[in-house]
Chains A and B, each alone.
Chain A
Amino acid sequence: MRSFFFDHNGFATVVRALSVATLLLFPGCDTTVDVLQPSDQYRYSLYGVLDVAADTQVIRVDPLSSPNAPGASSSVDAAVVLQNLESGEEISLQDSLTILDADSTTAHNFWTTHPIQPSTKYRIAVKKENTVLTTGTTTTPAQAPSLNVGQPILLPCTYPTPTIPDRQSENTFVVFARGAPQIAAAIIQYPILQPSGEDTLRTWVSSNHYDKVSDEGDRFKISVFYRDELISLHPDPPSGSPVCPGESYFFRPAARMIVSAGGPQWPEWQSASIDSLARPDLYSNVQGGHGFVGGIYTDTLRVPFAERLP
Chain B
Amino acid sequence: MSRFLFFIAGILLCSLIAAGPAPTFAQDPAAVRGFVRSADGGQSLQGANVILRDTTGNVQSAVATNADGLYQISEIPPGRYRLSISFVGYTPHRDTLQLAPGEQRTVSISLSASAQQLDDVTIEGRRPVKESEAGLRQIRSADIESIPSAGPGSDLSTYLRGLPGVTTTGDRGGRLYVRGGTPSQNKVLVEGMPLHKPFHIIGLYSAFPGDLVSTADFYGGGFGAEYMGRLSSVLDVQLRPGNVNEFKGSVGAGPFLALARFEGPISRGGSSFLVNVRHSLIEHSGPTLLNQQTPYKFYDLTAKYHSQGESSQCSLVGMRTYDRGRLDPNRTASFRWNNTAFGGECLLFGDTSAQVLDASFGTSHFGNAVRSVDGTTRDASAWRFYTNLDLTQPLPNGNSLQWGFHLRADQYRLSLDEPFLGITSEDYFRITTSPYIEASLTWNDRVTLTPSLGTQFQFSRGLPMLEPRLRLSYRPRGSERMKLTAAGGLYRQLVTGVSDERDAGSTFQALLPSPFTDHPPQAAHALLGWNQQIQSSLRVSVEGWYKKLWDLAVPRWTPIVRFNTTLSRADGQAFGADLSIQYEPDPLRLDLTYGYGQTTYQASEDDLGGWTGDPLIEYSPPYDLRHKIGVSASLDLSWVTASARWQYNSGLPFTQVYGYDSMLEVRGLREHPFGSVGTPRALFDRPYQARLPAYHRLDASLKRTFTLSPLLGMTVEMGAINAYDRRNVFYVDIFTQDRVDQLPVIPYLSLQINFE
Whether A105 contacts B677 by the Cβ 8 Å rule is yes
- How far, in Å, is A188 (CB) from chain B's closest CB? 12
Q: How far is the CA of A51 from the CA of B609 in the complex (A)?
A: 32
Question: For window 20-41 of chain A, which residues contact chain B by CB distance below 8 Å?
Answer: 21-22, 25-27, 30-39
Among candidates A1, A37, A275, residue contacting B656 with C-beta atoms closer than 8 Å: A37
Q: How far is the CA of A26 from the CA of B627 in the complex (A)?
A: 10
Whether A275 contacts B556 by the Cβ 8 Å rule is yes
Question: Of the 9-residue stretches A65-73, A125-133, A146-154, which lies at the interface with chain B?
Answer: A65-73
Query: Hey, which chain A residues are within 8 Å of B673, CB to CB?
Result: 47-48, 58-60, 98, 107, 109
Whether A64 contacts B669 by the Cβ 8 Å rule is no
Whether B677 contacts A18 by the Cβ 8 Å rule is no
Query: Hey, which chain B residues are within 8 Å of A113, CB to CB?
Result: none
Query: Hey, which chain A residues are within 8 Å of B592, CB to CB?
Result: 14-15, 18
Say whether A299 faces chain B, with CB atoms less than 8 Å apart: no
What does the 1/0 interface line of B685-725 toward A look like (CB < 8 Å)? Answer: 00000101110100000000000000000000000000000
Q: How far is the CA of A101 from the CA of B407 in the complex (A)?
A: 52
Summarize A's interface: helix, strand, loop or mixed.
mixed
Question: For window 573-596 of chain B, which residues contact chain A by CB distance below 8 Å?
Answer: 581, 583, 585, 588, 592, 594
Q: How far is the CA of A251 from the CA of B659 in the complex (A)?
A: 46
Query: Hey, which chain B residues are within 8 Å of A276, CB to CB?
Result: 609
Say whether A307 faces chain B, with CB atoms less than 8 Å apart: no
Whether A274 contacts B657 by the Cβ 8 Å rule is no
Whether B538 contacts A36 by the Cβ 8 Å rule is no
Whether A208 contacts B629 by the Cβ 8 Å rule is no
What does the 1/0 interface line of B609-628 toward A look like (CB < 8 Å)? Answer: 10100000000000000010
Whether B659 contacts A25 by the Cβ 8 Å rule is no
Q: How far is the CA of A10 from the CA of B539 in the complex (A)?
A: 12
Whether A26 contacts B694 by the Cβ 8 Å rule is yes
- Contact status of A25 and B558, CB under 8 A, knowing A210-B667, A292-B666: no
- How far, in Å, is A271 (CB) from chain B's closest CB? 10
Say whether B559 faces chain A, with CB atoms less than 8 Å apart: yes
- How far, in Å, is A38 (CB) from chain B's closest CB? 6
Whether A185 contacts B668 by the Cβ 8 Å rule is yes
Whether B666 contacts A49 by the Cβ 8 Å rule is yes
Q: How far is the CA of A25 from the CA of B647 in the complex (A)?
A: 13
Band of interface residues on A: 35 or more
Whether B683 contacts A64 by the Cβ 8 Å rule is yes
- Contact status of A8 and B658, CB under 8 A, knowing A18-B592, A18-B594, A274-B560: no
Question: Of the 9-residue stretches A116-124, A159-167, A231-239, A278-286, which lies at the interface with chain B?
Answer: A278-286
- How far, in Å, is B30 (CB) from chain A's closest CB? 47
Query: Hey, which chain B residues are within 8 Å of A203, CB to CB?
Result: none
Whether A18 contacts B629 by the Cβ 8 Å rule is yes
- Contact status of A31 and B693, CB under 8 A, knowing A4-B585, A47-B678, A60-B673: yes
Query: Hey, which chain B residues are within 8 Å of A27, CB to CB?
Result: 650-651, 693-694
Query: Hey, which chain A residues are within 8 Å of B692, CB to CB?
Result: 33
Question: For window 179-227 of chain B, which residues contact chain A by CB distance below 8 Å?
Answer: none
- How far, in Å, is B732 (CB) from chain A's closest CB? 5
What does the 1/0 interface line of B736-753 toward A look like (CB < 8 Å)? Answer: 110100000000000000
Q: How far is the CA of A18 from the CA of B583 in the complex (A)?
A: 14
Closest residue of A by beta carbon distance from B731:
A33
Whether B683 contacts A58 by the Cβ 8 Å rule is no
- Contact status of A184 and B669, CB under 8 A, knowing A35-B737, A291-B661: yes
Q: How far is the CA of A187 from the CA of B538 in the complex (A)?
A: 79
Among candidates B566, B583, B660, B696, residue contacting A11 with C-beta atoms closer than 8 Å: B583
- Contact status of A64 and B727, CB under 8 A, knowing A47-B664, A109-B673: no
Counting residue pairs across A and B whose Cβ atoms lie within 8 Å, the total is: 189
- How far, in Å, is B708 (CB) from chain A's closest CB? 29
Q: How far is the CA of A27 from the CA of B694 in the complex (A)?
A: 7
Say whether B25 faces chain A, with CB atoms less than 8 Å apart: no
- How far, in Å, is A228 (CB) from chain B's closest CB? 17
Whether B664 contacts A35 by the Cβ 8 Å rule is no
Closest residue of A by beta carbon distance from B696:
A26
Closest residue of A by beta carbon distance from B670:
A208
Q: How far is the CA of A22 from the CA of B560 in the complex (A)?
A: 39
What does the 1/0 interface line of A240-259 toward B look like (CB < 8 Å)? Answer: 00000000000000000000
- How far, in Å, is A138 (CB) from chain B's closest CB? 11
What does the 1/0 interface line of B643-664 toward A look like (CB < 8 Å)? Answer: 0000010110010111111111
Query: Hey, which chain B residues are within 8 Å of A185, CB to CB?
Result: 668-669
Say whether B639 faces chain A, with CB atoms less than 8 Å apart: no
Say whether B681 faces chain A, with CB atoms less than 8 Å apart: yes
- How far, in Å, is A19 (CB) from chain B's closest CB? 9
- Contact status of A35 and B727, CB under 8 A, knowing A25-B629, A290-B661: no
Say whether B680 faces chain A, with CB atoms less than 8 Å apart: yes
Whether B668 contacts A277 by the Cβ 8 Å rule is no
- How far, in Å, is A122 (CB) from chain B's closest CB? 15
Q: How far is the CA of A94 from the CA of B261 in the complex (A)?
A: 71
Whether A64 contacts B629 by the Cβ 8 Å rule is no
Whether B667 contacts A45 by the Cβ 8 Å rule is no
- How far, in Å, is A238 (CB) from chain B's closest CB? 26
Whether B667 contacts A32 by the Cβ 8 Å rule is no
Q: How far is the CA of A267 from the CA of B665 in the complex (A)?
A: 13
Whether A208 contacts B656 by the Cβ 8 Å rule is no
Q: How far is the CA of A129 from the CA of B629 in the complex (A)?
A: 52
Query: Hey, which chain A residues are within 8 Å of B60, CB to CB?
Result: none
Query: Hey, which chain B residues are within 8 Å of A269, CB to CB?
Result: 667
Q: How far is the CA of A9 from the CA of B658 in the complex (A)?
A: 52
Q: How far is the CA of A62 from the CA of B683 in the complex (A)?
A: 12
Query: Hey, which chain A residues are within 8 Å of B627, CB to CB?
Result: 25
Closest residue of B by beta carbon distance from A298:
B669
Whether B667 contacts A277 by the Cβ 8 Å rule is yes
Query: Hey, which chain A residues are within 8 Å of B678, CB to CB?
Result: 47, 60, 107
Q: How far is the CA of A174 from the CA of B377 in the complex (A)?
A: 40
Whether B668 contacts A35 by the Cβ 8 Å rule is no
Q: How far is the CA of A49 from the CA of B667 in the complex (A)?
A: 10
Whether A36 contacts B650 by the Cβ 8 Å rule is no
Whether A25 contacts B648 by the Cβ 8 Å rule is yes
Among candidates B661, B666, B696, B739, residue contacting A33 with C-beta atoms closer than 8 Å: B739
Whether B663 contacts A278 by the Cβ 8 Å rule is yes
Q: How far is the CA of A296 from the CA of B657 in the complex (A)?
A: 33
Say whether B277 faces chain A, with CB atoms less than 8 Å apart: no
- How far, in Å, is B521 (CB) from chain A's closest CB? 22
Whether B666 contacts A64 by the Cβ 8 Å rule is no
Among candidates A26, A30, A98, A270, residue contacting B667 with C-beta atoms closer than 8 Å: A270
Q: How far is the CA of A59 from the CA of B673 in the complex (A)?
A: 7
Q: How far is the CA of A66 from the CA of B611 in the complex (A)?
A: 23
Say whether A137 faces chain B, with CB atoms less than 8 Å apart: no
Whether B674 contacts A274 by the Cβ 8 Å rule is no
Among candidates A21, A45, A58, A211, residue contacting B661 with C-beta atoms closer than 8 Å: A45
Whether A47 contacts B666 by the Cβ 8 Å rule is yes
Q: How far is the CA of A111 from the CA of B656 in the complex (A)?
A: 33
- How far, in Å, is B371 (CB) from chain A's closest CB? 16
User: Given A100-B677, A290-B683, 19 more contacts at CB 8 Å?
Assistant: A10-B534, A18-B631, A22-B629, A25-B627, A33-B654, A33-B692, A33-B693, A39-B659, A47-B663, A47-B678, A64-B660, A69-B661, A101-B677, A186-B668, A187-B668, A260-B669, A272-B667, A275-B609, A294-B666
Q: Report which A residues bind B (CB closer than 8 A).
A: 1, 4-5, 8, 10-11, 14-15, 18, 21-22, 25-27, 30-39, 42, 45, 47-49, 58-60, 62, 64-67, 69-70, 98, 100-101, 105, 107, 109, 184-187, 208, 210-211, 260, 267, 269-270, 272, 274-283, 290-292, 294, 296
Pairs across A and B, CB under 8 Å, 20 listed: A25-B650, A26-B648, A33-B739, A35-B654, A45-B659, A101-B677, A105-B677, A107-B662, A107-B678, A187-B668, A208-B668, A210-B667, A211-B668, A276-B609, A278-B558, A278-B559, A278-B679, A279-B559, A280-B559, A283-B667
Q: Report which B residues bind A (CB closer than 8 A).
A: 421, 534-535, 537-538, 556, 558-560, 566, 581, 583, 585, 588, 592, 594, 609, 611, 627, 629, 631, 635, 648, 650-651, 654, 656-670, 672-683, 690, 692-694, 696, 726-729, 732, 734-737, 739
User: Top 7 nearest A-B pairs by Cβ distance?
Assistant: A64-B659, A210-B668, A69-B660, A4-B585, A47-B664, A62-B661, A39-B658
